[in-house]
Structure 1
Amino acid sequence: MELEQRDKWATKLGLILAMAGNAIGLGNFVRFPTQVAQNGGGAFMVPYFVALFFLGIPVMWIEWVAGRYGGRYGHGTLGPTYYLMARESLKPRSALWMGVISGMLASSLTVLLNSYYLHLVGWSAAYSWFSITGAYFNQNPGDFFTNYLGNHAQVFLFWGITMILLAIAVGQGVSKGIERWVKVMMPLLYIFAIILAGYVFVLGSPVDPNWNTIDGFRFVWSPNWSYLGNNLWKVMLAATGQIFFTLSLGMGIIQNYASYLGPKDDVALSGLATVSLNEFAEVVLGGSTAIPLATAYAPKIVPADVLAQGKSEALAWIGQKFGLGFAYTSLPNVFVSMGSAGKLFGAIWFLLLWFAGFTSAIAMYNYLTAMLEEDLNIKRSIGTWLVFLIYLIMGLPVVYIDGYMDQADAWVSFQLTLLALFDIIVAVYLFKPDNFWKELHEGAWMEVPGWYKPIILYIAPILLLLPLIGMFRDLVGSTLEWPARIAIIVLLALGAIESYYSIKKKYAEELEKNEVIIRV
């Protein structure tokens, strides 16, 4: 079978940086410290590393294998790829529905997630400018943030700049566009993160000798066994969810990037390198910034009556307040307290967030562009701007409907966990475990230990079911309002139609005969 020549990664370094950029996002520097702070500090780190070893690494390998396998047939999207893998165990007509469900989940998720994630990236771009100009330095940072969100012209400006740059990068292709952009952004991201972490390490006690960065490091790295024992289910759920979220698993975008590999390109060591770069950014750099910095400046951001109750109460207060808003309200308060140096460090912090968000968003943007290009035969130069239009429309409810973003995010967390479970069902079980193991080692630069096979087959699915059950219970307990419901239903329906069409278009003959005809 003769396939069209697809774009390829120009260098191994470019691929690894792109994959790392996909994984390293706002979750590393905002969501991770939030989860640590709200789940007992050191109590969180124990199940976090367990989840990394038994869930994060196995599913990462699965998605690399699936992506390279789909790329062999000229596919960079999940619908056709998972159809091909499922037909190893199922007849084509049955395999079709596994492909349709997987493709539906992936395409709808990349639209819904990026519809609000791009706004967060836009906020970071705005605050980079606000920091360097000192716009919030003579105001209450919390009020300033509220006023910024209410100023739709400013919100659209920085959101629009971010989306236009994304469209330009993706429109240039994989090797000439995405790879070149991440080769600049990723090194800068690490440099900025190392500068901030280094500053925090030498900061000491900038406000009060009773409060220093060591208190923050101790909070993160001292195992809190009593808290873990009393809140085991809650902390395990948070830890597995964070591993899953931070590695960008269950979105289809790792498979998309891996589809641009050659059939003999390594996926075993490359997948492990992606995990390692992400964890260094998250645990070492992300864990060394926000919480220790907030702790050192606690007298400036914690109410006096809470401070009077002692360090444990103050740290608990910081943990409760940690979250998305903390990055744009309390940390700016810290930068204001630094004086003139705060403008520089504030700009570095928010540029770091912008780079991290941009390199993740670009992967989701490329997934939809590849879908239009490969499944619907729309030129990349045109498809790029059609995706721009889709994100523009889907991003409007985030600005104009209160609570929409939180509801969309809750559904996204559930859906990406569900898709990761489909990764294991289709790309391991239906593809057949022996086939998967062989594909994992095809051209590999390392041999995966044999004892990892039962982890992939049995332990990883169980650890995926834990957050899946927990999130489903939370979703059932809460009510999605109609704007979010409509968006979810419409996107799922369109995703199913597109996936069905893309599979039928290329594999019509074997679906009609219900037997495998096309093999590469």
Structure 2
Amino acid sequence: MREQWNNKLGFLLAAIGSAVGLGNIWRFPYVAGTNGGGAFLIPYFFAIVTAGIPILILEYTMGKTYHGGAPVTLARMNKKFEILGWFQTMVAFVISTYYVAIIVWTLKYLQFSLTLEWGDDPTGFFLNFLGATDSASNLGGIQMNLLFPFLIVWAIVAFIMYKGVRHGIEVVCRVTLPILMLLIVLLVIRGITLPGAVDGLNYLFQPDWSALKKPGVWVAAYGQIFFSLSIGFAIMVSYASYLPKKTDVVNSACITATANHGFEVFTAIGIFGIVGFMAGQQGVDVAEVAGGGVGLAFMTFPTAINALPAFNALFAICFFGALFIAAITSMISILQAVIASMHDKFNIDHNVATTIVVLPSFLISTIFITGGGLNILDIVDSFVNNLGIVGCGCAEVFLLGWFFKTEKLREEANRYSNFSIGKWWNYALKFVTVFVLGVMIVLNTIDYVCHGYGGFATKDVAIFGWGAILFVIVAGFIFALMKGKDGYRDLDEIAHKEGQ
């Protein structure tokens, strides 16, 4: 029998833990602030309704109904769809190789928080801490100060993965998510009570209604939904495959999305309250110090922490502790998506599947603790997110919307749900989401082809950016062509097991 969550709450906590990741903490505030502020919330909520929740319902229904990771689930829907499942799985695998590096940095910064070791120049300290070289192709060797925390993080992650879904992932999420919320609440309370906080919140939420006329703002809203909900790259299909048949997936999808996006907005309030205070201390506009991604977490925020009038170390620990928990719960979901795919197609023992996934991810991830690791991570992350995840998500809704009876999935989703979704769901997937994601793919591809990325050398972008996409495609084809267990596409096998 397939392993199952202990109960619906365990599944929801795991799904929320996956969705609540680094993108919620360091990406959403910057995206919102630079795309119309408060006006951005209109396309943002529109994207939640037309893409976020519908795709969550779709993936929960797929996983629960067809009882498999993304490749096997899609193969059971139509054997020609299996290749897409492997593309999604390989995207997750690539993300796992660099995501761990960010967890390593966060773990070290938890240690640095005790004494505010980054001093008066957090930017210089961070680059020196990483031994950052001048280019992605200049590796500079493994940074020995990162090696021990690197091994610790992998030991923690591997231990959780070997424990499995019920005794590993679910237990970790039950324990860590309440702690995460407590840390964020402390940060938000501190952030909004600081002098100058209102300037940061104005930057974040003051509406620029003219931004709604810009197509790029709407594209950014859909991009944020994809990046923050863990949809489109095998995770939620995998998690839902461990659900009992009679689980309410519509309600579950709404709870997951609401919790994730509520956390996103709530966290942004605390972060930009503190950033507004920092801007006031420096006598500059918030726009000059506000940023996103790695820069916000490891450069801007430590600078803001230094400026706090009291309890600096405590709030540094809250911030980096929250980052660490969010990253760990996302990392284990990413790996589980790959492990489930291997286990389901090839019918191998869980521990064997875990080793097959964790070992190569561990070996490849060592490149991200070299001197060139920061630059490599920047390039790979951009390409995998903007082309890999969005491309897989677009292909998923296109294939299922146009070449599979989504009405069948809608009926299955409604069968055990407290409230039903109407036929608008079919049209949202078939037209709105496909169109917007298609536009995103075209725009992103043109931008990368014509302008490269981030000022990096063409060679580096070719190797680590386009190379990552090529790896996803080639590896996806290889796994799709490999022979799996007999009957892995056969739904009769599921019916037989459920009848036992």
Aligned match for 2:260, one of 278, 294, 313: 278
Residues 62-95 of structure 1, C-alpha deviation per residue, up to 9 Å, x if partnerless?
Answer: 1111111221xxx2x2222112112xxxxxxxxx
Aligned match for 1:69, one of 65, 72, 77: 65
CA contact (8 A) 1:108 1:495 kept: yes
Aligned match for 2:275, one of 294, 311, 314: 294
In the other structure, the counterpart of 1:242 is 224
Aligned match for 2:335, one of 365, 372, 389: 365
Task: Tell me how far apart the structure 2 counterparts of residues 373 and 473 of structure 1 sit (CA, whole Å).
Answer: 37
Which stretch shows the higher mean deviation, 254-263 or 453-462? Answer: 453-462
Task: Tell me how far apart the structure 2 counterparts of residues 483 and 365 of structure 1 sit (CA, whole Å).
Answer: 21
Which stretch shows the higher mean deviation, 14-23 or 363-372? Answer: 363-372
Change (3 A) 1:28 1:345: same
Task: Tell me how far apart the structure 2 counterparts of residues 281 and 389 of structure 1 sit (CA, whole Å).
Answer: 33
1:417 aligns with 2:390: yes
Task: Tell me how far apart the structure 2 counterparts of residues 451 and 482 of structure 1 sit (CA, whole Å).
Answer: 43
Report 1:456-467 matches (<5 A).
456-467=429-440
SS in 1 for 2:416: coil
CA drift at 1:517: 7.5
In the other structure, the counterpart of 1:31 is 27
The one-letter code sitting in structure 1 at the alignment partner of 2:19 is A
Q: TM-score, normalised by structure 1?
A: 0.86
CA contact (8 A) 1:40 1:227 kept: yes
CA contact (8 A) 1:116 1:395 kept: yes
SS in 2 for 1:297: helix
The one-letter code sitting in structure 1 at the alignment partner of 2:173 is V
Change (3 A) 1:202 1:517: closer
The one-letter code sitting in structure 2 at the alignment partner of 1:57 is I
How high is the sequence identity, in percent, across the aligned residues?
A: 27
CA contact (8 A) 1:122 1:158 kept: yes
SS in 2 for 1:445: coil
1:59 aligns with 2:47: no
CA contact (8 A) 1:428 1:436 kept: no
| Residue-pair matches, total | 474
CA contact (8 A) 1:117 1:361 kept: yes
Aligned match for 1:436, one of 409, 419, 424: 409
CA drift at 1:142: 1.1
1:396 aligns with 2:371: no
SS in 1 for 2:114: helix
In the other structure, the counterpart of 1:123 is 105
Change (3 A) 1:226 1:374: closer
SS in 2 for 1:111: helix
CA drift at 1:374: 2.7
1:99 aligns with 2:92: no
CA drift at 1:375: 2.5
1:482 aligns with 2:468: no
* RMSD, aligned CA: 2.2
Tell me which stretches of 4 or more aligned residues in structure 1 moved more than 6 Å.
516-519
Task: Tell me how far apart the structure 2 counterparts of residues 140 and 474 of structure 1 sit (CA, whole Å).
Answer: 34
SS in 1 for 2:272: helix
In the other structure, the counterpart of 1:174 is 165
Residues 400-442 of structure 1, C-alpha deviation per residue, up to 9 Å, x if partnerless?
Answer: 3463222212221211112112322344443302211111112
Q: Which runs of 5+ in 1 are unaligned?
A: 87-95, 206-211, 308-313, 511-515
In the other structure, the counterpart of 2:72 is 80
Task: Tell me how far apart the structure 2 counterparts of residues 492 and 347 of structure 1 sit (CA, whole Å).
Answer: 40
In the other structure, the counterpart of 1:262 is 244
Which stretch shows the higher mean deviation, 409-418 or 492-501? Answer: 492-501
Task: Tell me how far apart the structure 2 counterparts of residues 333 and 506 of structure 1 sit (CA, whole Å).
Answer: 58
CA drift at 1:339: 5.3
CA contact (8 A) 1:51 1:463 kept: no
Aligned match for 1:349, one of 302, 310, 319: 319
The one-letter code sitting in structure 2 at the alignment partner of 1:496 is F
Q: Which runs of 5+ in 2 are unaligned?
A: 132-141, 453-457, 496-500
The one-letter code sitting in structure 2 at the alignment partner of 1:415 is G
SS in 1 for 2:193: helix
CA contact (8 A) 1:124 1:350 kept: yes
CA drift at 1:500: 2.9
Q: TM-score, normalised by structure 2?
A: 0.89
CA drift at 1:332: 0.5
Change (3 A) 1:454 1:509: closer
Report 1:145-224 matches (<5 A).
145-150=126-131, 152-203=143-194, 205=195, 212-224=196-208
CA contact (8 A) 1:112 1:394 kept: no
Change (3 A) 1:517 1:200: closer
In the other structure, the counterpart of 2:442 is 469
Which stretch shows the higher mean deviation, 162-171 or 482-491? Answer: 482-491
Residues 242-301 of structure 1, C-alpha deviation per residue, up to 9 Å, x if partnerless?
Answer: 111111111110000000012221111001110011011101x2221222210112144x
Which stretch shows the higher mean deviation, 172-181 or 438-447? Answer: 438-447
Residues 345-369 of structure 1, C-alpha deviation per residue, up to 9 Å, x if partnerless?
Answer: 0011001011111111110111222
1:335 aligns with 2:285: no
Task: Tell me how far apart the structure 1 counterparts of residues 288 and 120 of structure 2 sit (CA, whole Å).
Answer: 23
CA drift at 1:452: 3.5
In the other structure, the counterpart of 2:139 is none
CA contact (8 A) 1:37 1:291 kept: no
